[in-house]
Amino acid sequence: MIATIETNSKKYKIDLTKPLDLSIPLIASKKNVNAWYLDEPKIEPVQDKGWIASVKEGASINFNNIFFNPHGHGTHTECIGHITEKVHSVNKNLKQFFFLAEVVTVAPEKLDGDFVISKKQLQFAIGNKKRKAIIIRTLPNTKEKLSAQYSHTNPPYLLEAAAIYLKDKGIEHLLIDLPSVDKEKDEGKLLAHNAFWNTKGKKRVNATITELIFVPNTVNDGTYFLNLQIAPFENDASPSKPILYALLND
């Protein structure tokens, strides 16, 4: 099924039968991707007075409770409410779901013992392109990211200047395959989060950050059409499912 999309007075064609899913599924296992010192997520049947809501256990239905944290247990999209005293819901702040997006691949560089993504790297990767969304794939890019246990590993992160650059360039939706755009242990400074959402100026309440995505190596760098899907949680963050579509006439 071919759809025609018009944006900025330019028309693009996409094949809706060929989605490229960037999300990491949530599973009830220690192999589930994990960050922020959490136990693994749990998916288990409701139990009541000896009754177990599982067809396998003799019930007529499967009726599960799910216990998880959106920030630490998989692909999630967060809004400015993640770092503000005022309550903000990503379900209310994210009002559009389709964007032109640029996929870029970056090899974090070493700085003072950390691996970081710099402004210079992003400038080189993005160039003069104007996009609403940026999707950052970091190297090395292996399937181990699907089950990585990130706690206490000091993963790569964005330097503050890199986040400022993305904000100044007008990028509203930042997607990355790391557990955070900030350093794991930074004394609560959250420099990249604050810079991207411009918390010291006119706050960018409609901007989002999506973390813990996975961009397969079969997805080439370049321009795509992004459908940023979230679950309707009234919370600062929600599990999400970013879907890319290749532009047929790009």
pLDDT 10s digits, 131-181: 999 999 999 999 999 999 999 999 999 999 999 999 999 999 999 999 999
Residue 94 lies in a domain: yes
Q: What is the Cα–Cα distance from 59 to 222, expressed in whole angstroms?
A: 50
Angle at 40 (CA atoms; ends 20, 49), nearest 5 degrees: 115
- Considering all CA atoms of the chain, what is the largest pairwise distance in Å, rounded to the nearest integer? 63
Which domain, by its residues, includes 133? 2-25+70-246
- Are the C-beta atoms of 164 and 49 separated by less than 8 Å? no
Residue 83 lies in a domain: yes
- Are the C-beta atoms of 210 and 173 separated by less than 8 Å? yes
CATH number at 235 reads 3.50.30.50
Provide the pLDDT for residue 249. 74
What would the pLDDT profile of 1-21 be if each residue is shown by its tens digit?
A: 888 877 777 888 999 999 999
Q: Is 196 helix (H, G, I), strand (E, B) or coil?
A: helix
What would the pLDDT profile of 69-127 be if each residue is shown by its tens digit?
A: 999 999 999 999 999 999 999 999 999 999 999 999 999 999 999 999 999 999 999 99
Provide the pLDDT for residue 68. 98
How many separate domains does the chain show? 1
Q: What is the Cα–Cα distance from 203 to 200, expressed in whole angstroms?
A: 7
Q: What is the Cα–Cα distance from 157 to 155, expressed in whole angstroms?
A: 7
Residue 54 lies in a domain: no
Residue 48 lies in a domain: no
Residue 30 lies in a domain: no
Provide the pLDDT for residue 250. 56
Residue 37 lies in a domain: no
Residue 194 lies in a domain: yes
Residue 209 lies in a domain: yes
Provide the pLDDT for residue 171. 98
